[in-house]
Copies of this chain bind each other. A is one copy, B any other.
């Protein structure tokens, strides 16, 4: 891969420094503060003894995993008004929290969570691009911590999580594929993709999108390969935090 001149001097195929600090929210069942460079997200998992109404009404067996995502008003340089000030969630927030939830459920056996809901809250403390991929990557760690604790406390027999899940962003800045875009890179990219993958290298979600631009099948392949490289490092960081 060619040399790149990214604002922070990273190689085009380099992640930003990643850190995971467990226990940030002590009242949650499991929590972690995840950092992708300047991006910081509080991920907190709570296990509740009930399931959503639609599951009760449709008599669906097993449990549920869901997520909520929010940007704290001081996470951006210009203060971002709270969702409540408009009375409703914006479209971007809804898309992100649905994506986080689907990502976790893709690696879960919900029958092992009978009558319970695991809710993962992801609150962005500082935003510098990649908040949704950091959220997914941290959400898995928070979920795993909450489930281990529930098993230790005898509330759960075995973990419903079959393996790890993590996510990373990739994009095309001009013709250069970049890994793990920061805010300015994300703003300038003509194609932006988010790849969610399992610990054993299978896709959960592939979302590639050109806002006022398009991309070729071979560009798509290059982006996917770049993401896979970054995800290997993220899985290692998750395991280190859980050790």
Copy number in the complex reads 6
Report yes or no: A211 in contact with B102, Cβ–Cβ below 8 A: yes
Report yes or no: B73 in contact with A106, Cβ–Cβ below 8 A: no
Segment 1-40 of A: residues with Cβ below 8 Å from B: 24-28, 31, 38
In the assembled complex, the Cα of A205 lies from the Cα of B74 at a distance in Å of 27
Q: How far is the CB of A242 from chain B (nearest CB, A)?
A: 19
Q: Which residue from chain B places its CB closest to the CB of A38 in the assembled complex?
A: B26
Interface of A is mostly: mixed
Q: How many residues of A contact B (CB 8 A)?
A: 64
Report yes or no: A72 in contact with B203, Cβ–Cβ below 8 A: no
In the assembled complex, the Cα of A46 lies from the Cα of B211 at a distance in Å of 22
List chain A positions with a Cβ less than 8 A from chain B: 24-28, 31, 38, 42, 44, 46, 48, 68, 70, 72-79, 82-84, 87-89, 91, 94-95, 98, 102, 105-108, 110, 119, 121, 123, 125-127, 193, 198, 201-217, 220, 224
